[in-house]
Amino acid sequence: MRVDFTGKTVVITGASSGIGSEFARAFAAKGCRLIMVARREDRMRELAGELGVPCEILTADLSREEECNKVIETIAGQGAFALINCAGFGLLGATVEHSIEEELGMIDLNIRAVHILTRRFLDLRRESGSGAILNVASCAGLLPAGPYLNTYYATKAYVASFTQGLAEELADMKSGIYVGALCPGPVYTEFTKVARGKEWASALTPEKVVSYAVKKMEKGKKLIVPGAGVRFGLFGTRFLSRHRTARIIGFGQRSRVEE
Ligand SMILES: NC(=O)c1ccc[n+]([C@@H]2O[C@H](COP(=O)([O-])OP(=O)(O)OC[C@H]3O[C@@H](n4cnc5c(N)ncnc54)[C@H](OP(=O)(O)O)[C@@H]3O)[C@@H](O)[C@H]2O)c1
């Protein structure tokens, strides 16, 4: 499958920061019309001002089901070709130290919003038989467990699994709609600040992640893992037990927890 984004309308959630902002820049460079979604309107307005392509800004808290539905209702009829589900966050620290409300908010955003938007965007595109959805999971979603970033790892496992399964179903149906999961390792964004932890010792830039992702999407790749080091690390876990892998990850994530 080849996917051509040139001049199309692309919806990007989490466009106010980090990887989502970078997707906005990348698709603007392809002459796309953008629909940007996040809570911080000022950030999106500032970015839109730099891009030089038509941009619509939708302010929404996607952890709320009714706001996800409102986004879909707003974009229906606008011929949006692609959806990039990028909004998400994590919380560093022991699970029992987090408030259950914050954890449920994470599940609502990282899982429920991605599920609702993916399903409803597919409904919008099904008749045309073309379009594209990229769900930003994480390499966390391809690993057994992530102690001290625990709920986050579990949410990303859902996103990776759901997206990969959906992509296979669409392939069986010979659908022209592309569905893929992006699974980056560490990336320098606002993620760590939001997660209330210490910055990654080493990470990729959002520019690198997004330019790699867009190239792979254009080739129809269903599972996209940027960074040779991350791919090598994931390969290495095949030789370890799930328990051992989770212990190693836990050691790393615990060292990032602010005292
Ligand atoms: N950075 C990494 O190391 C890394 C690695 C793998 C995967 N990822 C994934 O990449 C995606 C983007 O994260 P990032 O690294 O770019 O972090 P980021 O800079 O913190 O960006 C997160 C984005 O999500 C939006 N968002 C958060 N809560 C929201 C809500 N309730 N409703 C709507 N939008 C919301 C934020 O916008 P507002 O605050 O304006 O709403 C922001 O635009 C996430 O799904 C993350 O899990 C990140």
- Whichever domain contains 207, its CATH number is 3.40.50.720
Exposure string (b/e) for 134-162, b if CB count within 10 Å is 16 or more? bbbbbbbbbbebbbbbbbbbbbbbbbbeb
CB atoms within 10 A of CB 241: 10
Give just the sign of the alpha carbon dihedral 132, 213, 27, 190: positive
User: What is the value of pTM for the model shown?
Assistant: 0.98
Say if 259 falls within a structural domain: no
C-alpha angle 148/181/96, rounded to 5°? 15
Residue range of the domain that includes 103: 9-254
Residue 2 domain-assigned? no
Choose which residue among 25, 85, 89 to substitute to test ligand 1 binding: the one with the highest number of ligand atoms within 8 A of its C-beta: 89
Closest to 222 in 3D by CA, of 173, 160, 131: 160
The answer to the question of residue 3 being in a domain is no
253 C-beta closer than 6 A to ligand 1: no
Tens of pLDDT, residues 193-219? 999 999 988 999 999 999 999 999 999
189: in domain = yes
Q: How far apart are CA 172 and CA 169, in angstroms?
A: 5
Smallest CA-to-CA distance from 187 within 138, 114, 129 is with: 138
226 assigned to some structural domain: yes
Cβ pair 258, 198 in contact under 8 A: yes
- The rounded distance, in Å, linking the Cα atoms of 128 and 135 is 20
What's the pLDDT tens digit per position in 111-165?
999 999 999 999 999 999 999 999 999 999 999 999 999 999 999 999 999 999 9
The answer to the question of residue 158 being in a domain is yes
Residue 107 placed within a domain = yes
Report how many domains make up the chain.
Answer: 1
Q: For residue 152, tell me if it sits in a domain.
A: yes
Rounded CA gap, 34 and 80, in Å? 9
Q: Does the beta carbon of 146 sit less than 6 angstroms from any atom of ligand 1?
A: no
Ligand 1 pocket mutation, candidates 34, 35, 40, 86, criterion most atoms within 8 A of CB: 86
Could you tell me the two tokens for 196?
């209330």
